Amino acid sequence: MLTILVVLTLFSSAYGCSGDSFTVTSYTTTNLPLATETAILVEFTADCPDSKLSAVIGGEILPVYSTSDGNMVTLVKEHSALPASAYNVDFYDEAGIAAYKNHAKDSAVEAPTPIHTASVNHPGVSKEGLPIQTEFIVMVASLLVWWGANSIKAKISE
């Protein structure tokens, strides 16, 4: 019986997912005129073979998608729903997310410890650049060139 327990422990530690194996990069939407919603994108690599991971951002459970470069989780909401703040992204394996769901339903159940937690700093969205649009500047410049050319043409034809 003891040997089975030792083998299971070694197997889970060899194939489990540890918080030390995570490398995280993140991106958030900051330019108001170019985006209608705020996006928080977290890309990470983890040494978690064949484990289905989930993420929790602000109490919302999100799936983790596998890409050729690693893994990714995305949260997209209205600008007002994701104000400027530091958001914690908690990563759970299948057993951990099940325990998290039980904790969310019944607060008497102990909250599980995430495999890894990443912090994403979202500075908020703001209007960047000139106070007027560049299309307006180009239109005014075109009208001035046209007016100048038309005035010179009128003087020449007199």
- The predicted model gives 30-52 an average pLDDT of 81
- Both 31 and 61 in one domain: the answer is yes
CA distance 149 to 17: 71
- Both 67 and 140 in one domain: the answer is no
pLDDT at residue 16, rounded to an integer: 55
Confidence of residue 17 (pLDDT cuts 50, 70, 90): low
Q: Tell me: pLDDT of 43 over 70.
A: yes
Which amino acid makes up residue 97? I
- Both 147 and 117 in one domain: the answer is no
Cβ-contact 93, 115 below 8 angstroms: yes
Domain extent, residue 70, equals: 2-127
How many separate domains does the chain show?
A: 2
- Both 144 and 107 in one domain: the answer is no
Q: Which of 43, 140, 129, 55 is nearest to 92 (CA)?
A: 55
- Both 74 and 108 in one domain: the answer is yes
- Greater model confidence, 153 or 108: 153
- Both 92 and 156 in one domain: the answer is no
- Both 144 and 91 in one domain: the answer is no
Q: What is the mean pLDDT of the chain?
A: 81
Could you tell me the pTM of the whole model? 0.68
CA distance 54 to 42: 12
Q: Tell me: pLDDT of 49 over 70.
A: no
- Both 87 and 157 in one domain: the answer is no
- Both 64 and 139 in one domain: the answer is no
- Both 94 and 146 in one domain: the answer is no
Cβ-contact 18, 11 below 8 angstroms: no
Place of tokens 């978690």: 48
Place of tokens 């958030």: 28
- Residue 75 belongs to a domain with what CATH number? 2.60.40
Confidence of residue 22 (pLDDT cuts 50, 70, 90): confident
Reported as type and span, the H/E element at residue 98 is helix 94-105
